[in-house]
Amino acid sequence: MLAATELGRQVEGRWLWRGLSFDLAAGDCVGLVAPSGAGKTLLLRSLVWLDPLQQGEVWFEGRSLTDWALPDYRTQVMYLSQRPAVIEGSVADNLQQPFTLAQHRHRRYQAERILSWLDALGRGPDFLRLKSTQLSGGELQLLALLRALQLDPKILLLDEPTASLDPATTAQVEALLGQWLQMSPRAVMVTSHDPSQIDRFTHRKLVLEAIPHG
């Protein structure tokens, strides 16, 4: 589904990673593992062209990323940051907002689907009425996940998606993502501050080795 060849990223004259190649196949759930400061977030951002690469190329469904219109590409390969951006208003307002964008105007908001996912995450309909400005860090992460899932991307790039969640909700998120992966060709790459989550949830690891200075 997605392939990266000979990627390299340099910061202040130092290579964080170089010659990095990997692929994501349908059904893959890959844990991105690296020491702090090794550029995990930069790699995820680079895969959706939010951060530049100094070397290498990314391919999606057999086409180079340079051959894709970025808005179209980003409807299919989505990056979820550690600190999701939201608009003012309710959770429901934030979930409905993507459907006002040109890329998603052919789709419609499906409340029943959202309610089903909320139930799987141990939340009721009242969650939809909460104000975005009053959400906890964990609630923001749930909002961001639901906002992405409803758009049916093919690949999710998740940067610490459960860092602010309690263990019970983390398990529910993992179960929901596991079910999502089984529906049509889909793949996930995820980072986590918790090594046990990587061992438990992912199928294999992509390890970024620190490159020595000099």
Question: What CA–CA distance (Å, rounded) separates 165 from 84?
Answer: 14
Q: Which domain holds residue 114?
A: 27-41+70-207
Residue 20 resides in a domain: no
Residue 6 resides in a domain: no
Residue 17 resides in a domain: no
pLDDT of residue 213: 58
Instruction: Give the predicted TM-score (pTM) of the model.
Output: 0.93
Round to the nearest angstrom and report the end-to-end CA distance of the chain.
Answer: 36
Neighbours of 103 (CB within 10 A): 14
Question: What CA–CA distance (Å, rounded) separates 145 from 166?
Answer: 16
Residue 7 resides in a domain: no
Token pair in block for residue 207: 């390890």
The number of angstroms, rounded, from the C-alpha of 21 to the middle of its chain's C-alpha atoms is: 19
Which three-class secondary structure string do you get for 47-74?
Answer: HCCCCCCCEEEEEECCEEHHHCCHHHHH
Q: Using one digit for the tens of pLDDT, what is the confidence trace for 162-186?
A: 999 999 999 999 999 999 999 889 9
Angle at 117 between CA 81 and CA 171, to 5 degrees: 65
Please tell me the total count of domains within the chain.
Answer: 1
pLDDT of residue 96: 95
Q: Report the pLDDT averaged over residues 40-54.
A: 92
CA atoms within 13 Å, Cβ hemisphere of 35: 7
Residue 156 resides in a domain: yes
pLDDT of residue 105: 81
pLDDT of residue 37: 80
Residue 56 resides in a domain: no
Identify the band that residue 212 occupies on the pLDDT scale cut at 50, 70 and 90.
low
**Sheet with 55-60: strands ordered across:** 14-24, 2-11, 55-60, 63-64
Residue 161 resides in a domain: yes
Instruction: Phi first, then psi: give them for residue 78, nearest 5 degrees.
Output: -115, 135
Q: Using one digit for the tens of pLDDT, what is the confidence trace for 111-156?
A: 999 999 999 999 999 999 999 999 999 999 999 999 999 999 999 9
Runs of H (alpha helix) within the chain: 40-47, 70-76, 91-96, 111-120, 137-149, 167-181, 195-201
Say if residue 160's pLDDT is above 60.
Answer: yes
CATH number for position 141? 3.40.50.300
